[in-house]
Amino acid sequence: MSEQDWQSLDIKKILELLPHRYPFIMVDRILSVEPGVRIKGLKNVSINENFFQGHFPGEPVMPGVLMLEGMAQVGAVLAYLTDREQTADKLVYFAGLDGVKFRRKVVPGDQLIYELTVKKQKSRFWVMEGRAYVDEALVAEAQLMATFA
């Protein structure tokens, strides 16, 4: 994938990078990338998501942990695009979360925008600040730590 292709990635290109598949892929498109610095991704939240069957019937709310998973997946795309040599043929794993806050609920019809910024990278260890927005309103934030193995 050339650097020119990095500015916007559709789901086909995302699936080339991430091992996640339905029903656990939590990003639909990468909107912009600055390798090694920041990334912005998008998730369309649909009533057809399987988790809405049980969370909660009659009052569908996207689970916060799945918003964090979406942040992590977008962060993994950034890491894969930033350092192909170090991350090739490896999986990204959560190493920790800090400062997690959920600001408001996310419901079917919302469009989540994930924005992640690299705070630290040392070898295969990454620390990123993540924020999720709906209609420019902050809905979730966290510091994510990850490693490749």
Alpha-carbon distances, residue 65 vs 5, 62, 84, 122, 142 (angstroms):
30, 9, 27, 26, 11
3-state secondary structure of 68: helix
Residue 55 designated active-site: yes
Query: Which of the following is catalytic: 13, 38, 55, 103?
Result: 55
- Bridging pattern class, strands 111-122 and 92-102: unpaired
The pairing of beta strand 38-44 with beta strand 125-134:
unpaired
- Active-site residues: which are they? 55
